[in-house]
């Protein structure tokens, strides 16, 4: 079963390290802090933050809760919290456990859910962790890139913000910003950028081989669906010209 240990906000990973160091590994299956990904927009860049899902809570999976409790009482720091009545060790309900099992990836992080909406803001497609719990979504905050979802935790109804990613984010390169988890995460959230798709890599030497600008050569600056931007130097000035894709050829 899954149990929750309440601790001071900001000290969650410290408690996890202490449990892993002090308690018998045979007495529990896993001990972790739950996190979620969230996109923050800053200076036209999309940054993925990894934040605590439930600040102040540590989860432990065990079939021997009494043994865990008595082992914790032998740790001086935990013994004082227990004696002062500042220690909570409670089981999750089956539905609460199932929800977290569904949502959390192997590294205990809830990944971003893709959300596509129409021009009126109505959701028309959802994929990722959020898909199975659409009936629990209270509202979407598209500008802040999260969905507010209702859930049960320790027998109480709560709300939590789960990160979403929109089509315009997918077309950009996402980078990791603030990361609260001590676990290793990729430095770059690798998303193939529109400029680099297909047979025209940005930065290539390119020549115009047909049309009014035949003979012009330069650097490929940007790729669109039907056209490309070619950067050339004319009369001592660097300028960019938009030409049809079928009119250009890569030199190198």
Residue 207, helix vs strand vs coil: strand
Render the burial of 219-249: b for 16+ CB within 10 Å, e for the rest: bbbebeeebbbbebeeeeeeeebebeeebbe
Is residue 111 domain-shared with residue 142, that is, in the same domain?
Answer: yes
Number of domains in the chain: 2
Instruction: Provide the pLDDT confidence category of residue 176 given band limits of 50, 70 and 90.
Output: low
Range of weakest confidence among 33-37, 63-67, 77-81: 77-81
Domain extent at residue 218: 195-250
How do residues 27-47 score in pLDDT, each as one tens digit?
Answer: 999 999 999 998 887 776 778
Is residue 163 domain-shared with residue 71, that is, in the same domain?
Answer: yes
Is residue 177 domain-shared with residue 200, that is, in the same domain?
Answer: no
| pTM of the full structure | 0.65
């Amino acid at each position: 079963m899954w149990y929750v240990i309440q601790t001071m906000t900001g000290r969650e990973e410290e408690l996890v390290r202490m449990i892993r160091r002090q308690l018998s590994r045979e007495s529990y299956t896993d001990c972790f802090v739950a996190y979620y990904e969230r996109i923050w927009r800053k200076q036209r860049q999309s940054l993925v933050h990894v934040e605590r899902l439930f600040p102040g809570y540590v989860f432990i999976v065990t079939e021997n809760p009494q043994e865990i409790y008595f082992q914790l009482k032998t740790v001086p720091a935990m013994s004082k919290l227990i004696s002062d009545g500042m220690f909570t060790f409670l089981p999750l309900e089956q539905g609460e456990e199932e929800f977290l099992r569904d949502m959390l990836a192997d590294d205990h992080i809830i990944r971003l859910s893709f959300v596509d909406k129409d021009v009126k803001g109505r959701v028309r497609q959802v994929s990722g962790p959020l898909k199975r719990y659409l009936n629990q979504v209270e509202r979407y905050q598209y500008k802040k890139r999260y969905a507010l979802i209702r859930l049960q935790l320790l027998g109480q109804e709560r709300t939590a913000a789960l990160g979403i990613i929109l089509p315009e984010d997918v077309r950009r390169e996402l980078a990791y910003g603030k990361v609260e988890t001590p676990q290793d995460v990729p430095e770059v959230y690798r998303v193939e950028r529109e400029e680099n798709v297909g047979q025209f890599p940005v930065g290539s030497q390119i020549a115009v081989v047909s049309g009014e600008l035949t003979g012009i050569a330069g650097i490929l600056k940007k790729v669109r669906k039907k056209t490309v931007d070619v950067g050339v130097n004319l009369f001592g000035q660097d300028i960019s010209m938009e030409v049809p894709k079928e009119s250009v050829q890569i030199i190198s």
